[in-house]
Structure 1
C-alpha cells in the first residue's frame, strides 16, 4: 500500500529543532503527565509518523502531541482513520499566474516575527532557582512539595527552548538544568521512600542528561540511582548503577568525582557486610580526595553538592581542604575505617555520625540511612 509522507509534521519538527528521538521523549513525558504512566515511544515511532506508515496515532498519543506542540493532530498532518488524504485540486483557468500570486501573498502574510532569543541569562536564572531547590532539600528533606516544585522547574527549562531561538550550547545547558531539577525530584522521592516515583524520575533525568552531554549531571543521576537500589535492597543493581557514574570520563579528569564514586561504593559494600570492600573503596576515596582541589569542588557544586543552606550559591565553592563540609567528608572515611577495625565481623553499613538520630529529614543524611527490609 502506497503511503504519503507527513510533510507537515516533518516541517514542524525542523522548525522547532526536534529530532525523532527528542520528539519521542517529549511525547512520552507528556503522556506521563496526562496518564500517570510514561509513554513507550522511540525514534522509530516518530519516523513511522513522518513516513506516513502511521497516519492516525492512538488517542493518548494525539493528546500528548497537542500538549507538546500546541496543535491538533490534523493540524500536524495526521489523517483520521477512514478518511482519505486530501488530493490536490485540479488546475483552474490561468493556473500559473493565479498560483504565483497566491504563493507570494501567502508567503508574505506568513512571514514570522523574529524569534525571541534565549541566552545565557535565562540559564543563569534557572540555575539560581535550582540553588533554592537544593537549599530546600537540605532544610526539609524528601517532602512532596520539593519533588513537585523540582518537576515544575524541569518542565519550565524544557519548554523555554521551545519558545525561542537558542544556540546549541544554550540548548544543551537547558537540558542539563532540566536534568538537574529532575534528579532533585528523584532524590526527594528517594528520601521520602516514594521509590516508584524515584524510578520514573530517574528514567526522565537520565534521558535529559544524555541530551545535554553534561557528565557532571550524569554522574549525579547515576549516583542517585545507586542510592535508590541500595535502599530497595538490590546491592548488585546499586553497584552497577554506581559503576555507570564511576566510568564516566569526568571521574578520570576530576578526582573529587572519583572520591565520591568510591565513597558511595563503600556504602553499598556495607549493606552486604563486605568489610574488605568497604575498606578498599574508602581507601580509594581518600586517595582521590587528597588529589582534589578547589576547582573540582566548584565544578561539582554546579549541580548541588552537599552545601550549607546558609550559602546556597551553587556557582562557587571554597576549597575542599578548608570548607567545613569538605572537612567532614575527609574525616568520615577515617571514622568509618576505625569503626570497621573495631567490628571485624560487620554485617551491615558502618554507622554515620547521625546514625542514632531520628529518621532522616534531609538529603544530606539519606546516604547513611539503612536500607529497608524487603
Structure 2
C-alpha cells in the first residue's frame, strides 16, 4: 500500500500558500473570547434570517488566516454585523482571487458584492491522492449543503428529520460506509472532505441540541455515527486525515452519547462514551480522552455512581494537564467537585470549587476545545448550584441556580430550561414553594420549545416536593398545568 501511494504521489505545489493571520478580524473581536464572539455571530445571523454553525473553532480559523474568504451566508452576517465595512476591511481576500472551489451543483448563491458570478472558484482543502471526488463540495469554512440541510424550522421533530435525513443519504459519510461494506471494491480513501463532513455533523447536532433538546434528536443520530466509524475502517492515506477522522468520530460518539444521556438513556450513553474513550486511546489523543472522561464523570454522577464520577473527573484532569486550556481544567475540576458532593464530602467539594473558579478566572484561550463553547459564567454557576444541592444546602444552591438562569443567553433554550428547573427544585426544597411554582411555570413555557427528559425528571421531583402545598392558588395552578402537560405528552 505504501509503495502504491508513493507511485501516485502528486508533485508538490510550486508556490505553497502560507496562511497569514487575519489581524483585522481579530481586532474586531476585541476582548471577547472566541466562543462569546461566535455567539454574537449566531445572534446576528438570526436577525437577518440566516443560520450559521459558528463556534469558537471557526473564529480561530478565520483569525489564523485558514479561511481566506467566507461563504455567502457568513458574508451576509459579517456585513450585517459591521455595516459600512467590506470583506476587505474585515481582512478577507476578494472572492475572485481565491482559487480552487468549483461551482456548487444545485445551489445558486447570490452574486458577491464584487459582481463575481456565483460559480467563481474559492478555496478548497487539498485533494488526497487516490480519494474519490465527493458529491458534496466542501469548503474550508462550511458546507453550504450541510448548512441548509440542518436549518431548524417548525417543530423539533420536523427540524431533526430534515437535518439527519440528508446526512444519511448524501455525501461522503454514507458513500464511505457503502464502499467499506464491499471488501476489495472502490479505489477511493476517505480524505479531507470526509473528515470535514464528520466535523460538520458534530457542530450541527450540537446546535440543534441547544435549540430543541436531546429527545427529538437521539433517534436520528445513529446513522451519521455509524458512517463516521465506517470512514475509520476504510483507512486513509494521510496521517493528518486519520487524526482528524479519529477526533471527529470520537467527538460524534460523545455528542450522540450526550443525546442519550440527556434523554435518560444512561446505558446507551455509557456505551457511546466508552466508544469515544477507546477511540481516544487508539489515536493517542489526550484532548478527546479528557472530553470522554468529562462526560463519563457527569453521567456517573447522574446515574448514582459518585465514586466513578470522582475517578473519571480526576482521570480527565490528568489527560488535560498538558493541553494548555485552563477552562477545560476548570470544567473537569467542577466535575470532581460534583463527585465529592455526591459522596457527601463537603470539604473536598469546597476545595475543588475554589480551584475550579480560580482556573476559570484565568480566562479563555486558543487552547480551549471547540466543544466547550457552552462553558461560561452561567454553566459555572449551575454546576456549583448542583454541588450545593447535593450537599443539602438548598438556599445556597438556589442562589447559584438563579444566577445561572439570569446569565444564560435566551437563545440556548435547553440550557435555560435546565437551569430554571434546577432553580425551581432548590426553591421548593428551601421553603419558598410559591416562588418555586412561579419558576416552574417558566420551565413549562420553555418545554413547549425543547424536548429534554432530564428537565422533565427534575420538574417531576419538584412536583413531589410541592404536593403538600397544593392548596395554594399559585402552586395549584402550576400542578394542574403540569398534569395537563404530562397527559398531552
In structure 1, distance between residues paired with 2:269 and 2:384: 31
In structure 2, distance between residues paired with 1:174 and 1:184: 15
In structure 2, distance between residues paired with 1:334 and 1:233: 18
Deviations 1:17-60 (A, max 9, x none): xxxxxxxxxxxxxxxxxxxxxxxxxxxxxxxxxxxxxxxxxxxx
The answer on whether the counterparts of 1:336 and 1:350 sit within 8 Å (CA) in structure 2 is yes
Q: Out of 295, 300, 322, which is 1:229 matched to?
A: 300
In structure 2, distance between residues paired with 1:230 and 1:334: 14
In structure 2, distance between residues paired with 1:239 and 1:67: 42
Q: Which residue of 2 aligns with 1:70?
A: 182
The answer on whether the counterparts of 2:290 and 2:320 sit within 8 Å (CA) in structure 1 is no
Distance 1:200 1:164, change over 3 A: closer
TM-superposed deviation, 1:222: 1.2
Deviations 1:188-215 (A, max 9, x none): 1111111121222222222222223322
In structure 2, distance between residues paired with 1:238 and 1:362: 26
Q: Which residue of 2 aligns with 1:136?
A: 208
In structure 2, distance between residues paired with 1:200 and 1:333: 24
Q: Out of 397, 404, 423, which is 1:350 matched to?
A: 397
In structure 1, distance between residues paired with 2:231 and 2:350: 46
Q: Which residue of 2 aligns with 1:217?
A: 288
Compare relative contact order (CA 8 Å, sep 6+) and give the higher one, 1 or 2: 1
TM-superposed deviation, 1:122: 2.5
- Structure 1 residue ranges without an equivalent (≥5): 1-10, 16-65, 76-111, 308-324
Counterpart check, 1:166 vs 2:237: yes
The alignment's C-alpha RMSD in Å is 4.1
- Structure 2 residue ranges without an equivalent (≥5): 5-177, 403-419, 425-439, 462-489
Distance 1:200 1:289, change over 3 A: same
Q: Which residue of 1 aligns with 2:413?
A: none
The answer on whether the counterparts of 2:214 and 2:259 sit within 8 Å (CA) in structure 1 is yes
Q: Which has the larger radius of gyration?
A: 1
In structure 2, distance between residues paired with 1:219 and 1:349: 30
In structure 1, distance between residues paired with 2:383 and 2:319: 23
In structure 2, distance between residues paired with 1:271 and 1:349: 16
TM-superposed deviation, 1:333: 7.4
The answer on whether the counterparts of 2:273 and 2:296 sit within 8 Å (CA) in structure 1 is yes
Deviations 1:108-152 (A, max 9, x none): xxxx98x33533232222212211111122222221x52343332
The answer on whether the counterparts of 2:338 and 2:386 sit within 8 Å (CA) in structure 1 is no
Compute the TM-score of the two structures, normalised by the length of structure 1: 0.54
Q: Which residue of 2 aligns with 1:157?
A: 228
Q: Which residue of 1 aligns with 2:199?
A: 127
Deviations 1:350-372 (A, max 9, x none): 35332115598678x87x969x9
The answer on whether the counterparts of 1:116 and 1:164 sit within 8 Å (CA) in structure 2 is no
Q: Which residue of 1 aligns with 2:218?
A: 147
Distance 1:130 1:263, change over 3 A: same
In structure 1, distance between residues paired with 2:378 and 2:209: 19
Q: Which residue of 1 aligns with 2:309?
A: 238
Instruction: Report the secondary structure of 1:138's partner residue.
Output: helix
Q: Which residue of 1 aligns with 2:325?
A: 254
The answer on whether the counterparts of 1:157 and 1:178 sit within 8 Å (CA) in structure 2 is yes
The correspondence of residues 8-157 of structure 1 with structure 2, limited to 5 A, is 70=182, 115-143=187-215, 145-157=216-228
Runs ≥4 in structure 1, deviation > 6 angstroms? Answer: 333-337
In structure 1, distance between residues paired with 2:301 and 2:355: 20
Counterpart check, 1:194 vs 2:306: no
Compute the TM-score of the two structures, normalised by the length of structure 2: 0.43
In structure 2, distance between residues paired with 1:198 and 1:163: 25
TM-superposed deviation, 1:223: 1.1
Q: Which residue of 1 aligns with 2:246?
A: 175
Instruction: Report the secondary structure of 2:294's partner residue.
Output: helix
In structure 1, distance between residues paired with 2:238 and 2:350: 47
In structure 2, distance between residues paired with 1:264 and 1:229: 10
The answer on whether the counterparts of 2:250 and 2:276 sit within 8 Å (CA) in structure 1 is yes
Q: Which residue of 1 aligns with 2:372?
A: 305
